[in-house]
Amino acid sequence: MNHSNNQSSAAILAASRAGEYLSFRLGAEEYGIEILKVQEIRGFEPSTKMINAPAYVLGVVNLRGVIVPILDMRLKFNCAQADYNSFTVVIILNLRSRVVGIVVDSVSDVMELTQDNIRIAPDIESAIDNSCILGLGSVGDRMLILLDIEGLMTSTEMPRASA
């Protein structure tokens, strides 16, 4: 494989992923999702449980007439169970085919990432499908795991919202 060709394709890939990301925490890790996928950020509130749902599906909430599934990303990513506290938030995502809420430990800020700030993630075994990791974003001493949240949420195991 031509090394310079590999570098240029990595640069093209990083350029295509440049933009604004909402950063959030799950345990000690910091993640980023494209800000354009975020509809709103809400405080954590109990949801209505669904029978036979996977453990990471906490239930559903009625959000202005739309029934939205609420997923605990700590459970989805096999993190240690964290307490629900005043920092716990639900990020409501508006994806092409569905609205879904994800529970995270806290939201940090919105970060502008340029192609110079984004690196290809190493291919390692993890609870997250590698195809759902866009790359690693770095600003100063912070490292964000950039998620393809739409790819992650549109996998066949994810529940659908309904009106």
User: Read out DSSP for 79-112?
Assistant: PPP----TT-EEEEEEETTEEEEEEESEEEEEEE
pLDDT tens-place string over residues 83-127: 888 889 999 999 887 899 999 999 999 999 998 898 887 776 665
**Residues near 153 by beta carbon (within 8 Å), at least 6 away in sequence:** 93, 95, 98, 100
Q: Are 118 and 145 in contact (CB under 8 A)?
A: no
Q: For the chain, what is the largest distance between any 2 Cα atoms, rounded to a whole number of angstroms? A: 54
Burial of residue 82 (CB within 10 Å: 0-12, 13-18, 19+) is middle
Tell me which of 28-42, 58-72, 73-87, 93-107 is least confident: 73-87
Dist. CA 35–CA 45, nearest whole Å:
22
Q: Which one, of 158, 94, 121, lies nearest residue 29 by Cα?
A: 121
CA distance 120 to 41: 28
Q: Please, which pLDDT band fits residue 150 given cuts at 50, 70 and 90?
A: confident
Per-residue pLDDT, averaged over 64-70, amounts to 94
